[in-house]
């Protein structure tokens, strides 16, 4: 998986085989690392230090131990823990919004209205009508898979064309349609409009 942060992918990026990671991927990775670090109450420790206090034993406790020791907390402890909790809730909500979809999903014609026309109003929907034997369609599917991971707040779909439209001409493939609030906002029909074989994920 070229989007994963592994030593192998770093090496491939170094030699130019994989493109450099985008700023967005770096930000997401930083957020995940931050959440992992914060889970051991590190943020509460920082809040206590800002209030001029030393590290307290509760900062090394697990959830069960915290519940048992709750009666011993003073107001400053409770305030630091509440600030930490609020921050984690905000971070969790941010990640939930960001990671709504995150993959290129296959649908059939019967699902088109539900998945595309009746999609949530805040979501952009990108659907690729394709045929598996058309090489350009396979290239578009590859790129859309990468974009779906990069932009998980948008819904990326693909459908074999004859499940949606009968007798659709091969020269009109690939066809990419973009929707928002049930209305078509953009379309790319045929190889020329989709960038021919020079098409890059950017």
| Kind of pairing between the strands at 175-180 and 183-189 | antiparallel
pLDDT of residue 102: 87
> What is the fold, at CATH topology level, of the domain defined by 105-193?
Glutaredoxin (3.40.30)
Give the tens place of pLDDT for each residue, 18-40: 666 665 555 556 665 655 555 54
Q: 130: closest CA among 150, 106, 113, 111?
A: 106
**Burial of residue 105, with CB atoms counted within 10 A of its CB: 0-12 exposed, 13-18 middle, 19 or more buried:** middle
Domain boundaries, the chain: 7-98, 105-193
Question: Which of these ranges, 45-59, 86-100, 167-181, has the smallest mean pLDDT?
Answer: 45-59
DSSP 3-state helix, strand, coil percentages of the chain (rounded to 5)?
A: 55, 15, 30
């Amino acid at each position: 998986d070229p989007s994963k942060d592994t030593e192998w992918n770093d090496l491939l990026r170094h030699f130019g085989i994989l493109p450099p990671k985008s700023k967005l991927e770096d930000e997401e990775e930083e957020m995940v690392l931050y959440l992992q670090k914060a889970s051991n109450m590190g943020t509460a420790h920082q809040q206590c230090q800002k209030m001029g206090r030393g590290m307290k034993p509760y900062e090394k406790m697990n959830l069960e131990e915290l519940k048992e020791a709750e009666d011993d907390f003073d107001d400053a402890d409770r305030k630091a823990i509440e600030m930490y909790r609020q921050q984690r809730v905000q971070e969790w909500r941010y990640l939930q919004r960001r990671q709504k979809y995150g993959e290129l999903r296959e649908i059939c014609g019967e699902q088109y209205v539900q998945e595309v026309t009746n999609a949530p109003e805040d979501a952009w929907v990108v659907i690729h009508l394709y045929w598996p034997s058309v090489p350009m369609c396979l290239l578009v599917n590859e790129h859309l898979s990468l974009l779906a991971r990069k932009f998980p707040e948008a819904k990326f779909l693909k459908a074999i064309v004859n499940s949606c439209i009968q007798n659709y001409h091969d020269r009109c493939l690939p066809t990419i349609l973009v929707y928002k609030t049930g209305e078509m906002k953009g379309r790319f029909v045929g190889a020329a409009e989709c960038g021919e074989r020079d098409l890059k994920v950017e």
